[in-house]
Structure 1
Amino acid sequence: MPVRNPLDALTLRPTEFLRSAWPWRSLVYLSGGAVLGFATVLAALALILVGAVLSIVAIGLACYVAMILSGVVVARMERRRLRLVDLDELPDPHRPVPEPGVRAWLRTRLREQATWRELGYATVSAGLLCWMDSLVVGAVFYVVGATFGAPFYMTDEPMANRLALAVAGVPLTLVLAWPVTAWAGARAAMARAILAPRAHDAAERLIEVTRSRARLVDAFEVERRRIERDLHDGAQQRMVAMNIQLGMARLELPPGSPAEKYLVEAQSLAKQALTEIRELIRGVHPKVLTDRGLAAAAGEVASTVPLPVDLTFTLPGRLSAALEVTAYFVIVEALTNVTKHSGATRASVSGRVDQGRLIVEVRDDGRGGADPAGGSGLLGLADRVAVLDGTVAIASPPGGPTALRVEIPVPPDESPPLTSVRAGQTAGARA
């Protein structure tokens, strides 16, 4: 088992331990701890004095705030120093600052429990640990200097006695390697126990990551809608106009003209391009979803699927844009998988709001065996639903049938009385 810290190094055989770098790393770590602790003491005293003198102006308050935040600096330096004696990296417990600027940084840091723990560590380090480090390091240098330097400063003693003391310094110095390493290991363990992220720190970071992901999804949806508008109002309209112009040009040609063949081909290509643009618009963000809601958009998707799809929707009017977009793309992805992979002859899509949750179910009578890890898009679908704290469940035994169920929480203010019911509709297969 590899040695990761000084406490593990103490379990090595004496010869292996003395040949290793752990005694030297421990001594450097403790020396740095003493320097850092005394520097913290001096900085804190200076900030207190300046803050007391300038307490009548804002600078004094700033000094006190700086003293509180000094723990952040001390903890950051301690995490770097810990790499000397602890090979397992100590992660930073602070969450990212959501906004740029000094005020946002101060507001975020002063509200974090990690900041106050780090201030406590800086206080313990300056008030106790640095003195212990100094005693241990001072004892080492005192023993080494007193023994090996005996031939030079003990001038009133016989040379034999001075040489004997110098020789005795060799085992004494070697023995000191164990307490030095032990204290360094204990010191590092205390630092890790105080500075390591707590469960609530991880929860705060998870919440912030979730919010950040939600913001990215919202920004992505805004961009999708912009692209949809540009395609619908720009490229699609120009393709329609070009198709009309090509048709009018064909009418102006005399019968049997050699150019008629090329115009027919060009008009056919224009129609294909127009169809592809419409499919692209539907995939980016369908206009019908914005104008008429989830049920209508699901019906349009079902009409493009080459098999009958039963639609059953019971929805409380319009839901939020985020809910409708997420549910829509769940349906699109699910019906795409039904078409490509299931071999089904019929499918059904249902949507309803029950006990404050939007429930969307897609079923088919295909062969089953759907595997989320098989690249069918189900993992991406689950990630998209997770942004809204939703869940995805799939049952697809070999031989079928397959049932996909998605549940997404609906905020209370989005659950008005039922205003629209669509049930029992069937979208026919596309020719």
Structure 2
Amino acid sequence: MHARTAWQALAHHPLAFLATRWPWRALAYLLSGVGVGALTLVVLVGGLLTGLVLLPVGAGAAVLLAVVLGGGVVARVERCRLRLVDLDPAVTDRRAPDAPGVRAWLRTRLRDRLTWRELGFTAVSMTALWWMDLLVLAFALALPVLCVTAPLDDPGAWPWVVIGLALLPAAPYTVTGWAGARAALTRLVLAPRDAELTEVRASRARLVGAFDAERRRIERDLHDGAQQRLVSVNVMLGLARLDAGPDSPLGRRLDLIQGELTTAVGELRELSRGVHPRALTDQGLAAALTNLTARSPLPVTVDVALPGPLPAPVASTAYFVVAEALANATKHSGAGRAEVQARLRTDTLVLTVRDDGSGGADPAGRGLTGLADRVAAADGILRLSSPSGGPTLLHVEMPCH
């Protein structure tokens, strides 16, 4: 599984980490941090001093307000920089004000706790963090270089060469370690608090619940309505076929019509299963996945060991994740086999779908993006590993509370 953060890459693959892009991403993160911090210090301190000077004449209040709101600009830059060492998306920026509601937007921003956290983070960044970035870079990179080049000025300083060569291999770890710590601090301060996300999560859960309820209603209507009517028509055609001669033109037409109707009933039955499988509601996730993989043209090994039924939104999401993953493997990857595994660890469903195809799946594709959104709506996490040449591994974790 691909590492999502610099810390994960450093902890999971300490030797292979050196051959990845993470050390260079961490270096770019710290170098840009020095530049952004120094520029912020110059601009905001200059703005603060200008505002204080102009305060007696009335224009200073607007300048000071701009300084306060400037924390939001710095925070937006920090969220963009965060992607260098943390691939999980940070909290999205708030939208720009509409022209008619600028005053209301300003009042909302000034009352928003996140605005003041952004301003506080900006103050810490411009007074301390970028200096620490500079010190880490100096210790990790400049010091070993100075040690190695010391004999150029003093031939008797050759022991410093040994010290410099010993320090150089540690430089990527030092740079990446501090970059990971700085990114964690940034996410901690700039991400919204749980209380701020409560209404968003509740609204998302209501939308998912309503969507699943609508899917179940459509499935019932198809199964109990249109499908049963077509079956009845098929039976009546069979009775009419008995009254027609075995080799008569009418009998042959009835045979043709009955065959087409049987095909239509089968297609409608498959459609209703795709909308919401009856086995998922009646027998649970394990039975539904068994039925799904039995119809797959790809040989699939199913290993589902669950102690009991799962919450309906979790089971439904897991089913459609597997269905989409197997469909992608069949259509696009040229896989010969696939494996599906599901386990309940503590109160979290851990679902993996692996295939031996050619890999190269695009996480930004419409299908995978839709799956990631559906998993996120269930408060879960979806991760994808699909290097060129394969294999492809889809890993999903969803809480079951």
Pick the TM interval, shorter chain: 0.5 to 0.7
How far off is 1:404 after superposition? Answer: 0.8
Task: Give the drift of 1:359.
Answer: 0.8
Residue 378 (structure 2) pairs with residue 378 (structure 1): no
Query: What code does the residue aligned with 2:59 have?
Result: T
Aligned partners of 1:310 and 1:192: how far apart in 2? 54
DSSP-derived class of the 1:345 partner? coil
Instruction: Report the CA distance shift for 1:187/1:199 in structure 2 as closer, same or farther (over 3 A).
Output: closer
Residues 309 and 231 from structure 1, CA distance in 2 versus in 1: closer, same or farther, beyond 3 angstroms?
same
**Equivalent runs, 1:66-145 vs 2, <5 Å:** none
- Aligned-CA RMSD value: 2.6
Equivalent position amino acid for 1:380 in 2 = G
Paired residues, number: 235
Q: Deviations over 1:103-156 (max 9, x none)?
A: xxxxxxxxxxxxxxxxxxxxxxxxxxxxxxxxxxxxxxxxxxxxxxxxxxxxxx
Are 1:195 and 2:186 matched, yes or no? no
* Residue 383 of structure 1, CA deviation: 0.8
Pairwise mapping of residues 164-179 of structure 1 onto structure 2 (< 5 A)? 179=57
Q: Which of these residues, 381, 397, 403, is aligned with residue 387 of structure 2? A: 397
The reply on whether 1:259 has 2:259 as its aligned counterpart is: no
What's 1:331 paired with?
322
Structure 1 segment 8-407 matched on structure 2, within 5 A: 179-186=57-64, 194-198=110-114, 204-375=195-366, 377-407=367-397
Counterpart Cα distance in 2 of 1:186 and 1:410: 48
Partner-residue secondary structure (3-state), 2:336: coil
- Structure 1 gaps of 5+ residues are 1-175, 412-431
Q: Deviations over 1:250-305 (max 9, x none)?
A: 12111321122321221122112111211111111111111100010001110111
The verdict on how the C-alpha distance between 1:261 and 1:349 changes in structure 2, with shifts beyond 3 A counting, is same
Amino acid at match of 1:387: A
Q: Return the offset for 1:187.
A: 6.2
Aligned to 1:21: none
Letter in 2 for 1:179: V
Name the CA shift for 1:242/1:192 in 2 (closer, same or farther; >3 Å). Answer: closer
Describe the shift of the 1:199–1:215 C-alpha distance in structure 2 as closer, same or farther (beyond 3 A).
farther
Name the % identity. 52
Secondary structure of 2:273's partner? helix
- CA distance in 2 between partners of 1:346 and 1:261 (Å): 43
Residue 364 of structure 2 aligns to a residue whose secondary structure is helix
How far does residue 184 in structure 1 lie from its aligned partner after superposition?
Answer: 4.3
| Aligned partners of 2:342 and 2:350 also within 8 Å | yes
The farther-off stretch of 359-368 and 266-275 is 266-275
C-alpha distance after superposition, 1:324-381 (max 9, x if no partner):
1111111111111111111011111111111321111111111111112233x11111
Q: How far apart are residue 235 of structure 1 and its match?
A: 1.0
Residue number in structure 2 paired with 1:409: 399
SS in 2 for 1:389: coil
> Equivalents in 2 of 1:293, 1:388: separation in Å?
18
Instruction: State how far apart, in whole Å, the 2-side matches of 1:193 and 1:255 are.
Output: 82
Distance 1:198 1:336 in 2: 42
Using the size of structure 2 for normalisation, the TM-score is 0.54
- What's the CA shift for 1:402? 0.9
CA displacement at 1:395 relative to structure 2: 1.0
TM-score by length of 1: 0.51
